[in-house]
């Protein structure tokens, strides 16, 4: 009912909650003051306040009812516009005992928070120009009350000071949020990717597998997975050293990645093992792709120091459907990989 969703970013949910809170407070205050003005037979002020109360309520309902980015933008724009118009009218009429101008200090922080730094500055610039023209150019024709020159000038000076502080705070807040978001993305990247090959690691691959499995539960289609293991990789480490072995893994990952289809996913499953995910692909179609990869790898000479060696890989394939649990599919692919190893290596076996 509040419009908050776990699917939204934290910043989006925070803005939704603040819009709801500000709208609720705005509705309560303007409605109470509007009724009091109505009882006191201050009808112009009562109409202004009650109209603002309705507008605040409308902005909240738009956000909750539609729940789209555009509706949230419309809701915040309506809220800011309503606040600015309300304050501007209070400047014109003076409000209760000429205390209306005091509400002007709400405008900068609210505008900055909802509109952001750049749009907020532009909106506040327009509002400041309008207030300056009202006070010093059209004061005799538009103002329904009287203010001294000292009051008007000091009100604008203090308003500009609050605007500057609000802008500085919003700029600092946005930069801090962007920095935290970048760090979070970097940590997420490091947590889900292999530092050597830059491919997804086992953890990231497991998340992708679960998403793909959830997708076929809805679509009732299939996808295929394959586990590849580099043949006799231990002998490479023993002969050329572990650093050379790392170089070989990087080059193999590059060969695999360059020959996969755009929709296919490659991950380092662990050690010298790689996991392939083929969305909306049958096992026979996956085998065709893997046979091309197997041949490309076996025909490619990998340079290690002054030597060029030829490397092969074995593959185990399994087709995943709604009826087959994901853990069983991975186990079947691993069994087929073992069968490929046992039957001579450099093969693609399908279960």
Tell me, what's the pLDDT at 3?
62
- Annotated catalytic residue: which of 272, 280, 285, 295? 272
The CB density around residue 271, as the number of other CB atoms within 10 Å, is 11
Distance CA 233, CA 252 (A): 12
Distance CA 115, CA 18 (A): 13
pTM: 0.59
The structure tokens listed for 86 are: 């309300």
Tell me, what's the pLDDT at 183?
87
Alpha carbon 197 to chain centroid, angstroms: 26
319 is catalytic: no
Distance CA 172, CA 254 (A): 42
Tell me, what's the pLDDT at 156?
96
Tell me, what's the pLDDT at 180?
86
Q: In what order do the strands lie in the sheet with 265-270?
A: 265-270, 273-278, 223-230, 313-320, 348-350
Bridge partners of 317, per DSSP, are 226, 350
Q: What angle do CA 321, 326, 328 make, to 5 degrees?
A: 100
Tell me, what's the pLDDT at 4?
63
Within 8 A by CB and 6+ apart from 71, the residues are 62, 63, 65
Tell me, what's the pLDDT at 7?
66
Bridge partners of 198, per DSSP, are none
The CB density around residue 169, as the number of other CB atoms within 10 Å, is 15
Pairing of strands 348-350, 313-320: parallel
Q: What angle do CA 92, 153, 105 make, to 5 degrees?
A: 65
Mark the ranges of the chain whose per-residue pLDDT is less than 70.
Answer: 1-8
| Contact yes or no for 20/186 (Cβ under 8 A) | no
The structure tokens listed for 18 are: 């603040």
């Amino acid at each position: 009912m509040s419009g908050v969703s776990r699917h939204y970013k934290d910043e989006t949910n925070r803005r939704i909650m603040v819009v709801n809170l500000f709208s609720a407070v705005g509705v309560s205050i303007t409605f109470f003051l509007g009724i009091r003005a109505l009882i006191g037979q201050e009808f112009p002020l009562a109409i202004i306040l009650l109209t603002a109360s309705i507008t605040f309520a409308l902005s909240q309902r738009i956000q909750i009812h539609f729940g789209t980015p555009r509706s949230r933008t419309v809701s915040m724009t309506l809220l800011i516009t309503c606040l600015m118009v309300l304050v501007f009218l209070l400047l014109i009429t003076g409000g209760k005992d000429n205390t209306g101008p005091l509400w002007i200090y709400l405008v900068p922080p609210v505008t900055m928070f909802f509109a952001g730094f750049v749009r907020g500055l532009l909106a506040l610039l327009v509002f400041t120009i309008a207030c300056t023209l009202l006070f010093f150019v059209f004061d005799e024709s538009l103002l329904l009350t009287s203010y001294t020159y000292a009051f008007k000038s000091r009100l604008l000076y203090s308003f500009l000071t609050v605007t500057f502080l609000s802008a500085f705070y919003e700029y600092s807040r946005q930069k801090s949020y962007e920095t935290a978001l970048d760090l979070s993305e970097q940590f997420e990247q490091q947590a889900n990717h292999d530092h050597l090959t830059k491919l997804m690691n086992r953890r990231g691959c497991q998340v992708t597998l679960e998403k793909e499995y959830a997708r076929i539960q809805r679509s009732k289609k299939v996808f295929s997975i394959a586990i590849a293991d580099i043949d006799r990789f231990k002998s490479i480490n023993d002969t050329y050293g572990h650093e050379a072995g790392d170089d070989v893994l990087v080059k193999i990952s590059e060969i695999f990645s360059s020959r996969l289809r755009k929709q296919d996913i490659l991950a380092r499953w662990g050690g010298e093992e790689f996991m392939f995910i083929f969305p909306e692909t049958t096992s026979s179609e996956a085998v065709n792709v893997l046979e091309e990869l197997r041949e490309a790898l076996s025909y490619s000479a990998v340079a290690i120091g002054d030597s060029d060696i030829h490397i092969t890989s074995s593959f185990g394939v399994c087709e995943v459907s709604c009826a087959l649990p994901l853990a069983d599919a991975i186990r079947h692919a691993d069994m087929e990989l073992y069968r490929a190893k046992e039957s001579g290596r450099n093969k693609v076996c399908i279960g």
